[in-house]
Chain A
Amino acid sequence: MLMKSLYINPEKCTGCLQCEMACSFENEGVFNPARSRIKVFTFHDAGRFVPYTCTQCDEAWCMKACPVEAIVLNAATGSKDIINDRCVGCKVCTIACPFGTVNYNSASGKVIKCDLCGGNPQCAQACPTGAITYIDADATGLERMRLWATKTDTAHHAAA
């Protein structure tokens, strides 16, 4: 089976936060952007919205740092998942992750991070613009390549 990964294209994002709500609803049972594993950042002056979440590193810093082996590889999806029963809330993983995508949840005393919803990421399902897609992990550059291909297609330009 081909491995898939989340592919984020900020150009398309309108900042609607459907993804944050879908994430928190799937994982917490309520619509709560404050508890979302994916975050959308607004750069007001630049007029940009940028969604950001865990990229599921192959050699995951968080997983290596955890002293109680509470973060494990999900072989089916490639995601690094938190085993809640093992997590002691020491937060070492939140320090280890260079991207800040593992976060502590004071309500539960455990950490939370993206687990690709077990292979059906709800953020990608909810996104109305295609800014988040779940695609072949080995070809996340295809769309951008296609875009540049049209730009270098001089015959097309001459005709247009």
Chain B
Amino acid sequence: MAWTKQILRVNLTNGDVSVEPLNMGWAQEYLGQRGLATRYFVAEVDPTVDALGPDNKLIMATGPLTGTMASTGGRYSVITKSPLTGTIACSNSGGFIGAALKNAGWDMIIFEGKAPSPVYLYVEDDKVEILPADDLWGKSVWEADELIHKKHQDPQIRISCVGRAAESGCLFSAIVNDLHRAAGRSGVGTVMASKNLKAVAVRGTKGVGNIKDPIRFMREVTAQKKVLADNAVTGQGLPTYGTQVLMNVINEMGALPTRNMREVKFEGAHSVSGEAMHEKRKTDGKPNLTRNAGCFGCTIACGRISTVDQGHFSVANKPEYWGNSGGLEYEAAWALGPDTGVDDLDALTYVNFLCNEDGFDPISYGSTVAAAMELYDMGVITKEDTGGIELTFGSAEALVKVTELTAKGEGFGKILGLGSKRMCEKYGHPELSMTVKGQEFPAYDPRGIQGMGLTYATSNRGACHLRSYTVASEVLGIPVKTDPLETDGKPELVIAFQDATAAVDSSGLCLFTTFAWSLENIAPQIDAACEGDWSVEKCAEVGARIWNLERDFNMRAGLTGADDTLPKRLLKDAANVGPAQGKVAGLDLMLPKYYELRGWTTDGQLTDETRSRYRLPA
């Protein structure tokens, strides 16, 4: 079992709250969280729906292992249609709210409609109330979080919230939970704000039981915790450096996209690396990094808790930013740093704080700033557009200023809030947008890590590293080392990663476990907890089914195989230095094989045969 088998449906238009039993037939086919919520979404929402209209729905879903002692079992996901990409969006977050939702007795909450005025949802076990949020609207996530805690006089409430970025329509807004964890990508926060839903506050005291075989479950969980502890990446690298362990590694490979991907190596990489976060600052003798932290149930604890130097220009005279908060993770550090050419660690940390405080995705944001800097460099954008800001590559001052504007949805920040695709189109240079399906790239240049090119091009939510993280194999040799410059064998690799990832994302566990775990380690934990038979093969099949279901939704939403592509810069301009020098992203060498192996047509459409193989809805 492990599912609570109950879901909440909240109609924001008329204020109805209803309870439904979980569809257990679907749970056997889609497991939970990402997969199961997508199944509900596909059944209920027209793929051509306006993402920001009242007919779009938004689902917050846990997995069957969320709230259990399985290491990292605290995840939840937000599923909706993305306003940024027009595809299915599924953003995953850790922290503590997922476990709180489960402890309150709910597998998922389905939000539909649009509230007539700002509201927040308060859930205390079975008590569910839609409460007015007029006083919270216009406040940052951090302010709203404090106000809600005060109002209910309960420090143990867990809160997911949108900030001023989402309220003002920034298309890559996040839903931030527990102050600095986020369902970050694809604009899920923008959808939440479009429903006038400011926050979801949860207090759960029922506990998570329903474990099929508790003794076997605890035995598996204990054994698998040890595997994480003994592994060099999950036992040492991630706790010590977080995901930032990668900054220097990827730079050395010549795969660190720099200055809007014009270059592949950043001269300032070390100053913004995981190692640099440990170095004592000259000014106050403290390192940027205070300590590492875990999400609910996590025995890896990759989280960064950081401070900004109190004397740094970004926070001088702003004591509210002098305390500890969520520090830089690799993707954020890259987008805000190397991609914009800024090598000032304190500035990046402050900007990252603002991304959390007002809820916007630092990857999409940093990449959009990078594109704007290139436009400024070319003279297409001038100080007149930016409101006087000299938006040059490498300027920490400019980065800080435009971030403060984006957080509040003011001035040039409003333009940046469009995301790089729409912004570049607006200024007549669509080729400068480093996006796939409208979503910005993360921190791996596909010229130097070829599998990531196919990953980005075929990702169901637009460019994303978390759909098939072949970096694990191509860079770190997990589970086997493959040559990052080679395209042969990558379609197979990408498919295996995509399917396994979809299963992990549906379980309640964190993807970072897969540096040490494969489905061989994960399936036994699911099997001991959940009714039914959860073999490795079944988990992989569930993953493939989810992948095809998401793809099917996207095709019905109007996307085609032509959207499975990369920006010209990566397909035509070769890397200028490093091991990948002279290489472009070899997408054409991989995509046809990928379609074939997926059982799709040569133009990327699902066939009836594939549909029936996975028992997808007609």
| Chain A residues near B (Cβ < 8 Å) | 14-18, 21-22, 24-25, 28-35, 44-49, 126, 128-129
- Pairwise interchain contact A44-B297, C-beta atoms closer than 8 A: no
Chain B residues near A25 (CB-CB < 8 A): 69, 218
Inter-chain CA distance A17–B100, complex, in Å, is 12
Residue tally, chain B, CB below 8 Å to A? 37
Q: How far is the CB of B247 from chain A (nearest CB, A)?
A: 22
- Pairwise interchain contact A45-B207, C-beta atoms closer than 8 A: no
Chain A residues near B292 (CB-CB < 8 A): 14
Chain B residues near A46 (CB-CB < 8 A): 323-324
* Contacts between chains A and B (CB distance < 8 A), count: 83
- Pairwise interchain contact B324-A44, C-beta atoms closer than 8 A: yes
Residue contacts A-B, CB under 8 angstroms, 12 given: A16-B298, A21-B297, A30-B206, A34-B204, A35-B207, A45-B323, A46-B323, A46-B324, A47-B293, A47-B307, A47-B323, A49-B293
Chain B residues near A44 (CB-CB < 8 A): 179, 323-325
Does chain A have a CB within 8 A of B391? no
List the 6 closest A-B pairs by CB distance, nearest first.
A32-B207, A47-B324, A45-B323, A30-B207, A16-B294, A128-B299
Q: Given that A31-B69, A32-B103 are known contacts, is A14 also in contact with B205, CB under 8 Å in the complex?
A: no
Q: How far is the CB of B189 from chain A (nearest CB, A)?
A: 21
Inter-chain CA distance A82–B148, complex, in Å, is 36
In chain B, residues 281-318, which have Cβ atoms closer than 8 Å to a Cβ of chain A? 290-299, 301, 303, 305, 307
Instruction: Give 4 new A-B contacts, CB below 8 A, not counting A15-B293, A16-B295, A47-B323.
Output: A14-B294, A30-B207, A34-B156, A128-B71
Taking CB as reference atom, which chain A residue is nearest B96? A17
Chain A residues near B15 (CB-CB < 8 A): none
Dominant SS among interface residues on chain B: loop
- Pairwise interchain contact A14-B324, C-beta atoms closer than 8 A: no
Does chain A have a CB within 8 A of B208? yes
- Pairwise interchain contact A21-B205, C-beta atoms closer than 8 A: no
Inter-chain CA distance A47–B180, complex, in Å, is 12
Does chain A have a CB within 8 A of B567? no
Chain B residues near A21 (CB-CB < 8 A): 68-69, 297
Does chain A have a CB within 8 A of B229? yes
- Pairwise interchain contact A30-B208, C-beta atoms closer than 8 A: yes
Q: How far is the CB of A108 from chain B (nearest CB, A)?
A: 13
Does chain A have a CB within 8 A of B209? yes
- Pairwise interchain contact A32-B208, C-beta atoms closer than 8 A: yes
- Pairwise interchain contact B291-A47, C-beta atoms closer than 8 A: yes
- Pairwise interchain contact B205-A16, C-beta atoms closer than 8 A: no
Chain A residues near B297 (CB-CB < 8 A): 16-18, 21
- Pairwise interchain contact B296-A17, C-beta atoms closer than 8 A: yes
Does chain A have a CB within 8 A of B163? no
- Pairwise interchain contact B207-A31, C-beta atoms closer than 8 A: yes
Q: How far is the CB of A26 from chain B (nearest CB, A)?
A: 10
Q: Given that A14-B292, A16-B294 are known contacts, is A31 also in contact with B68, CB under 8 Å in the complex?
A: yes
Q: How far is the CB of B159 from chain A (nearest CB, A)?
A: 13
Q: How far is the CB of A132 from chain B (nearest CB, A)?
A: 13
Inter-chain CA distance A126–B218, complex, in Å, is 11
Inter-chain CA distance A21–B303, complex, in Å, is 20
- Pairwise interchain contact B229-A128, C-beta atoms closer than 8 A: yes
Chain A residues near B99 (CB-CB < 8 A): 17, 33
Inter-chain CA distance A126–B206, complex, in Å, is 21
Does chain A have a CB within 8 A of B67? yes
Taking CB as reference atom, which chain A residue is nearest B229? A128
Q: How far is the CB of A105 from chain B (nearest CB, A)?
A: 10
- Pairwise interchain contact B179-A16, C-beta atoms closer than 8 A: no
Q: How far is the CB of B68 from chain A (nearest CB, A)?
A: 5
Chain B residues near A18 (CB-CB < 8 A): 69, 71, 297, 299
- Pairwise interchain contact A34-B103, C-beta atoms closer than 8 A: yes
Chain B residues near A32 (CB-CB < 8 A): 103, 205-208
Taking CB as reference atom, which chain B residue is nearest A49? B293
Taking CB as reference atom, which chain B residue is nearest A30? B207
Chain A residues near B299 (CB-CB < 8 A): 16, 18, 128
Inter-chain CA distance A128–B207, complex, in Å, is 22
Inter-chain CA distance A47–B324, complex, in Å, is 5
Inter-chain CA distance A25–B221, complex, in Å, is 13
Q: How far is the CB of B395 from chain A (nearest CB, A)?
A: 29
In chain B, residues 175-217, which have Cβ atoms closer than 8 Å to a Cβ of chain A? 179, 204-209, 214
Taking CB as reference atom, which chain B residue is nearest A24? B207
Inter-chain CA distance A35–B203, complex, in Å, is 13
Instruction: Give 1 or 0 for each of B230-242: 1 = CB within 8 Å of chain A CB.
Output: 0000000001000
Inter-chain CA distance A136–B298, complex, in Å, is 28
Chain A residues near B447 (CB-CB < 8 A): none
Inter-chain CA distance A128–B324, complex, in Å, is 23
Q: How far is the CB of A149 from chain B (nearest CB, A)?
A: 24
Inter-chain CA distance A49–B296, complex, in Å, is 13
Chain B residues near A31 (CB-CB < 8 A): 67-69, 207-209
- Pairwise interchain contact A29-B301, C-beta atoms closer than 8 A: no
